[in-house]
Structure 1
Amino acid sequence: MTIDKVTSAGHALAGLTDGASLAVGGFGLCGVPMTLIRAVGDLGVRDLHVVSNNCGVDDWGLGVLLGDHRVSRVIGSYVGENKEFARQYLAGELEVEFCPQGTLAERLRAGGSGIPAFYTPAGVGTQIAEGGVPWRYDAHGGVAVASPAKETRMFGDREYVLEEAITADYALVAASRGDRHGNLVFDRATANFNPPAAMAGRVTVAEVAELVDPGVLRPEDVHLPGVFVQHVVHVPNPEKRIEKRTVAREVRP
């Protein structure tokens, strides 16, 4: 029996509805599944709960969905490059759960591995563990919803905080190479959050720049096996953005 998971973005996301949760790969503007994000926007769904390291910028990545007010809640670790994200959060239009970057990656990986929770030293002695981080503001700048305190426990002579795993209705990821069975290869920094995001999705959709036949990818080169991927969308020559361009001043002898 041949397993061919290649399809269109519209078909892969046809089951997405209002209020769904999305785990979205990408690191800064690197490895962002832009074709799939645009397809989500075309569906017109709202009240989305998004889990992602960051939300892109105002006109790229998840910033596109934020700008259209399609997102109501975000779990992430960094928002500094998106002005609309910050505006919505401070205005009480968006609920945001901040999570240390390494902890976020592990919460996604744990969700995909069937691990309900884990202990970590990250955040001990801060509001991450003690609670009180503003998740949502009201219209007057007061705190409407704050983070709860988390369970802590001593292991040896060190304190740890309990973090719960994350799963999502859908995961959207971008890979540099993939085959028709859904086996994926990620390039450089795109491997930071795409693999754990893909693991956490109940339905995972991967856009791949280079599509190959099964057997072309060596098993030892595969970063994410196809068992985690339900749909593959071929996106040749995807557009890429540079987050911050730094140019050295020419030095003449």
Structure 2
Amino acid sequence: MINKQVKTCREAVAGINDGATVLVAGFGAVGVADHLLDALHDQGAKELTVVANNAGTGDYGLAKLIDSGRVRKVICSYPRSGDYRAFLAAYRSKSLELELVPQGTISERMRCAAAGLGGFFSPVSAGTKLAEGKETREIGGRLHVFEKPLKGDVALIKARAADRWGNLIYSKSARNFNPVMATAAELTVVEVDTMVELGEMDPEAIVTPSIFVDRVVVVGEGAW
């Protein structure tokens, strides 16, 4: 019997190694797997590379990992958003490396990794510092920059509900980067508000099929 549910967040993040590349979903504070990030902090993995839209806020989740020195590098689009003091302190002390990637580009790089593609050319960032050192090509009279796939060892994502097989649905804009990150990692770990029985979800409403999900943990009983 397939059952991907685990009992605790601690169990959900077990085995994440030092030096792992971790895909962290969310847009601002929406759709972020903060319970899993806190559990990863307690688990102790270090020298992490984190791929996210933002670089954490306040003193919890990703910001907590950065503040404790567990993150070596952040690949993101908007590091200075919300209460970004943890990121700023680490970056100013030169203990944290930052790679800025335009928002659409970061999503497409992960999608390429999921699809097994070798990369893509994009006009975004052409002629800017973000393109330095990258291959360029003129396509249709416009300069394009080659972007490589971005694959994770682990994806920590948040969904509204799951069944025991690992099929997922999301809550409105909390979908954001979650679906693409679920497909672009070797191990996908999901925190959900609630578990439902097989067959309760409308198949047409399932956004992330179970084939992309490895572990599911319930962090709160939300309304279904």
Q: Shorter-chain TM-score category?
A: over 0.9
User: What's the secondary structure of 2:88's corresponding residue?
Assistant: helix
Q: Mark the runs of 5 or more structure 2 residues left unpaired by the alignment.
A: none
Aligned residues: 219
Identify the range of structure 1 (56-65 vs 166-175) with the bigger mean alpha-carbon deviation.
56-65
- Residue 5 (structure 2) pairs with residue 3 (structure 1): no
1:105 to 107, 110, 127: 107
Counterpart of 2:59 in structure 1: which amino acid?
D
Distance 1:177 1:116 in 2: 33
Q: Mark the runs of 5 or more structure 1 residues left unpaired by the alignment.
A: 132-148, 239-253
For the 8 Å contact 1:29–1:61, the answer to whether it is kept is: no
Identity %: 41
Counterpart of 1:44 in structure 2: which amino acid?
G
Deviations 1:124-181 (A, max 9, x none): 111111x2xxxxxxxxxxxxxxxxx111112222221110111111110000111111
Query: What residue in structure 1 maps to residue 121 of structure 2?
Result: 119
Query: What residue in structure 2 maps to residue 32 of structure 1?
Result: 32
Counterpart of 1:224 in structure 2: which amino acid?
T
For the 8 Å contact 2:64–2:86, the answer to whether it is kept is: no
Counterpart of 1:6 in structure 2: which amino acid?
Q
- Give the greater-gyration-radius structure (CA): 1
- Residue 192 (structure 2) pairs with residue 208 (structure 1): yes
Q: TM-score, normalised by structure 2?
A: 0.93
Q: CA deviation at 1:87?
A: 2.1
After TM superposition, the structure 1 = structure 2 runs for residues 64-213 of structure 1, keeping only pairs within 5 Å, are: 64-80=64-80, 81=82, 82-129=84-131, 131=132, 149-213=133-197
Q: CA deviation at 1:237?
A: 4.5
For the 8 Å contact 2:164–2:198, the answer to whether it is kept is: yes
Counterpart of 1:73 in structure 2: which amino acid?
K
Q: CA deviation at 1:98?
A: 0.4
User: What's the secondary structure of 1:55's corresponding residue?
Assistant: coil
After TM superposition, the structure 1 = structure 2 runs for residues 57-68 of structure 1, keeping only pairs within 5 Å, are: 57-68=57-68
